[in-house]
Amino acid sequence: MTLPWVEPILASAICGFARAITGARARWQGCAPVAGPRVYYANHASHADFVLVWACLPHDLRERTRPVAGLDYWSKDAIRRFAADRLFRSVLIDRSHAAGKDDPIRRMAAALESGDALIVFPEGTRNTTDARLLPFKSGVYHLAVACPDVEFLPVWIENLSRVMPKGRFFPVPLLCTITIGAPLRLRAHEDKETFVARTRDALLALAPPEA
């Protein structure tokens, strides 16, 4: 039913809008923007998080980068399904399964093996507390075990929760920054707790000092 040329135009419009409202630019602090299978993992405080990360990637990387999102939220109505499937090519996962169950991990791994990059939010849910970062779920570790050669890049999203807090559906224009740090990889014999803590610390290290 949809016309094929509508989707890229719509996707570009959404990216342009997100960047115009937030003035966001990606700061690549620990690596260069290179295409290929990679996992961008970010802090999560707003609906719009993955849109902004996605919008800040260079165009050629954006086309091969897929956000991992909750099936329960994104399949609620036709518009969300269209956005998730056709615009962002999301990998939708069923959050009612416990993390680590092989189905979501296998689907993420399959996307990486086909050469796509992923955007994931290891906190598992949006952070509405005063803490900077919630504890990580163990999904990053299981994904790293499934794809040991893939690099994990920490992405700190600053301020977007003020632009679009949970429960609000129109944005207030405030400046945001996207900081991308140095890549991490699963070390030989590294256990779950160590890897999860290491990825979380690397992400926190990108956060600006608290005002």
Q: How far is residue 174 CA from its own chain's centroid?
A: 20
Owner of token pair 């598992």: 124
Give how far Cα 160 sits from Cα of 20, 54, 180, Å: 13, 14, 15
For the bound state, the minimum distance from the C-beta of residue 52 to other proteins, rounded and expressed in Å, comes to: 15
Q: Which is nearer to other proteins, 146 or 174 (CB)?
A: 174
Q: Which is nearer to other proteins, 144 or 176 (CB)?
A: 176
Integer Cα distance of 189 and 88 in angstroms = 35
For the bound state, the minimum distance from the C-beta of residue 47 to other proteins, rounded and expressed in Å, comes to: 13
Q: Do residues 125 and 136 lie in contact, with contact meaning Cβ atoms separated by under 8 Å?
A: no
For the bound state, the minimum distance from the C-beta of residue 133 to other proteins, rounded and expressed in Å, comes to: 18
For the bound state, the minimum distance from the C-beta of residue 208 to other proteins, rounded and expressed in Å, comes to: 10
Among 16, 23, 135, 148, which residue sits at the site for other proteins (rule: CB under 8 A)?
23
192 binds other proteins (CB under 8 A): no
Give how far Cα 31 sits from Cα of 55, 113, 155, Å: 18, 21, 12
Q: Which of residues 70-99 bind other proteins (CB under 8 A)?
A: none
Owner of token pair 């400046």: 175
Site map (CB under 8 A) of other proteins, residues 161-190, x = contact: -x--x--x-x-xxxx---------------
For the bound state, the minimum distance from the C-beta of residue 27 to other proteins, rounded and expressed in Å, comes to: 10
Q: Taking contact as CB under 8 A, which single stretch among the options 61-69, 99-107, 142-150, 157-165 is the one that binds other proteins?
A: 157-165
Cα torsion 146, 41, 91, 21 to 10°: value is -170
For the bound state, the minimum distance from the C-beta of residue 110 to other proteins, rounded and expressed in Å, comes to: 38
Integer Cα distance of 139 and 70 in angstroms = 13
Helices 6-22, 49-56: inter-axial angle, 10-degree rounding: 100
Residue 134: phi and psi, rounded to 5, are -75, 165
Question: How many positions of this chain bind other proteins (CB under 8 A)?
Answer: 11
Q: Which of residues 110-129 bind other proteins (CB under 8 A)?
A: none
Give the interface with other proteins as residue ranges (CB under 8 A).
Answer: 23, 159, 162, 165, 168, 170, 172-175, 211
